């Protein structure tokens, strides 16, 4: 059995924050943000929670599929901004959509969360353990961003999106293969230090602003292009394809310059590269499925296309997958 994406779905919070709004909050400019990152606007979840965003994306996926909530067997939510430390956000999503025949859990692999989750769902389906899975990336990064830190607050956004993965008796379609990597020597490149077992909740961690994202952006940037290009080559080699066979590259949307750098390094024309960072910003685990959903619904990705997914995230995780749509 292979696992095929049979539907996509997405949800973005209504509130939009522009670069000009950010100019009023920190010492930055629309020009700097656009030139350094490619971001023009981002969606912000003012009142909504991660599970609410994810449930709305799940309902959109179901609307676009042949299945109803009671048919779903597995729910994986990729997130670094869960509803609570426990229980898993997937359980709140299960309750909101009424998918009571499923089991669910969360995966934290930062911006690689969606590809990591897709690989897990793929393995469950290939093993025969389940026949379908909802795989959703959902983030409310605005709630862990330090709105006083211009080097991070301008790059993140909120949103949720995902796919329905279903078993198909055809090994030429669906997820052809995936490769995942992580390197725990670089955990300091991007971290939210508290609250956790090392730094439990206290007045001290709040005073130190340790409850917010801390990122060494430039050092992360330098490692990204080489790692993404490398893992993409690795997964294409495993399935006997090359970059010339790729119809669409859907990358984690962290920085337009990173995506362009990868395309240049592997010799892929930018008209085969999906770009959504201008209007979504970096939505961590939600960014690849948001881009996939847009690319599919706008008619770019078509049945039979070879789609290369690749990601790079904290700290460090990187991965790639090849899908025949
Ligand atoms: N507005 C204006 N100036 C700024 C801003 C801002 N918002 N932020 C930083 N600057 C300044 C810096 O202070 C610095 O000034 P200086 O030269 O006087 O010291 C200058 O701009 C350059 O700063 P850099 O950090 O070198 O800028 P860079 O070109 O690297 O861009 C960015 C920063 C956008 C963060 C980039 O490094 C990046 O995209 N990094 C990768 C992020 C990433 O991929 N993270 C992992 C995935 S996210 C996840 O896992 C959830």
- Note if the bond before 141 is cis, omega within 30 degrees: no
What is the per-residue pLDDT for 316?
Answer: 95
213 lines ligand 1 (CB under 6 A): no
CA angle 91, 96, 102 (to 5 degrees): 50
Distance 153 CA to ligand 1 centre (A): 10
What percent of the chain has a predicted confidence (pLDDT) above 70? 100
Mean pLDDT of 313-318: 94
Calpha distance 209→219 (Å, rounded) = 21
283 lines ligand 1 (CB under 6 A): no
Break the chain into its structural domains and give their ranges: 2-170, 175-324
- 19, 108, 122, 252: the catalytic one is 252
CATH topology agreement for domains 2-170 and 175-324: yes
C-alpha neighbours within 13 Å on the C-beta side of residue 190: 24
Over 2-49, what HEC string results? EEEEEEEEEECCCCEEEHHHHHCCCCCCHHHHHHHHCCCEEECCCCCC
Tens of pLDDT, residue by residue over 170-191, are 999 999 999 999 999 999 999 9
111 lines ligand 1 (CB under 6 A): yes
What is the per-residue pLDDT for 127?
Answer: 97
Query: Both tokens of residue 28?
Result: 């930055």
Mean pLDDT rounded to a whole number for the chain: 97
**Secondary element (H or E) of residue 147:** none
Q: Which residues contact 265 (CB under 8 A, 6 or more apart)?
A: 225, 226, 229
Contact 163, 114 (CB under 8 A): no
Contact 251, 228 (CB under 8 A): yes
Residue located via tokens 């729910």:
75
Bridge partners for 306 per DSSP: 324
* Residue 64 falls in the annotated catalytic set: no
CATH topology of domain 175-324: Peroxisomal Thiolase; Chain A, domain 1 (3.40.47)
From atom 36 of ligand 1, which residue's Cα is the shortest distance away?
A: 217
Calpha distance 143→188 (Å, rounded) = 20
64 lines ligand 1 (CB under 6 A): no
Mean pLDDT of 147-167: 98
176 backbone dihedrals φ, ψ, rounded to 5°: -85, -40
pTM metric for this prediction: 0.97
Tens of pLDDT, residue by residue over 186-217, are 999 999 999 999 999 999 999 999 999 999 99
Tens of pLDDT, residue by residue over 75-123, are 999 999 999 999 999 999 999 999 999 999 999 999 999 999 999 999 9
Contact 19, 29 (CB under 8 A): yes
What is the per-residue pLDDT for 315?
Answer: 87
What is the per-residue pLDDT for 229?
Answer: 98
What ligand 1 atom has the least distance to the C-alpha of 154? 7
**Of the candidates 193, 226, 189, which has an alpha carbon nearest to the alpha carbon of residue 208?**
193
What is the per-residue pLDDT for 263?
Answer: 98
240 phi-psi bin (left φ>0, alpha ψ -120 to 50, beta other): left
Is the pLDDT at 169 greater than 90, yes or no? yes
* Residue 271 falls in the annotated catalytic set: no
How many CB atoms neighbour CB 301 within 10 A? Answer: 23
Calpha distance 63→244 (Å, rounded) = 34
CATH number for the region 2-170 comes to: 3.40.47.10
**Of the candidates 58, 51, 206, 201, which has an alpha carbon nearest to the alpha carbon of residue 135?**
58
Query: Both tokens of residue 41?
Result: 């606007």
Distance 203 CA to ligand 1 centre (A): 29
What is the per-residue pLDDT for 183?
Answer: 97
Label residues 210-236 b or e (16+ Cβ within 10 Å = b).
Answer: bbbbbbebeebbeebbebbbbbbbebb
């Amino acid at each position: 059995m292979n696992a095929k994406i049979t539907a996509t779905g997405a949800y973005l919070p209504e509130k939009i924050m522009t670069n000009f709004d950010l100019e009023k909050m920190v010492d930055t400019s629309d020009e700097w943000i656009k030139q350094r990152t490619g971001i023009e606007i981002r969606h912000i979840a003012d009142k909504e929670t991660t599970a609410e965003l994810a449930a709305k994306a799940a309902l959109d996926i179901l609307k676009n599929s042949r299945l109803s909530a009671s048919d779903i067997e597995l729910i994986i939510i990729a997130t670094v901004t869960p509803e609570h430390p426990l229980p898993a956000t997937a359980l709140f999503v299960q309750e909101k959509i009424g998918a009571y025949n499923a089991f669910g859990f969360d995966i934290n692999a930062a911006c690689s969360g969606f590809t990591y989750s897709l690989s897990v769902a793929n393995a469950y389906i290939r093993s025969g353990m389940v026949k379908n899975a909802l795989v959703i990336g959902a983030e409310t990064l605005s709630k862990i961003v330090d709105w006083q830190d211009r080097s991070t607050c301008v790059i993140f956004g909120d949103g949720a999106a995902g796919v329905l993965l279903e078993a198909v008796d055809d090994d030429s379609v669906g997820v052809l293969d995936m490769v995942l990597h992580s390197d725990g020597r670089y955990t300091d490149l991007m971290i939210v230090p508290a609250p956790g077992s090392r730094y439990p909740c206290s007045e001290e961690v709040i005073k130190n602003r340790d409850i917010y994202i801390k990122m060494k952006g430039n050092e992360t940037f330098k490692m990204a292009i080489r790692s993404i290009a490398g893992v993409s080559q690795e997964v294409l080699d495993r399935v006997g394809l090359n970059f010339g066979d790729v119809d669409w590259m859907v990358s984690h949307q962290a920085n337009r310059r990173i995506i362009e750098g990868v395309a240049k390094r592997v010799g892929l024309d930018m008209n085969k590269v999906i770009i959504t960072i201008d209007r979504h910003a970096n939505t961590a685990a939600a960014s690849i499925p948001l881009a996939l959903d847009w690319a599919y619904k706008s008619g770019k990705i078509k049945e039979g296309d070879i789609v290369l997914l690749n990601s790079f995230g904290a700290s460090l995780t990187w991965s790639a997958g090849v899908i025949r749509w």
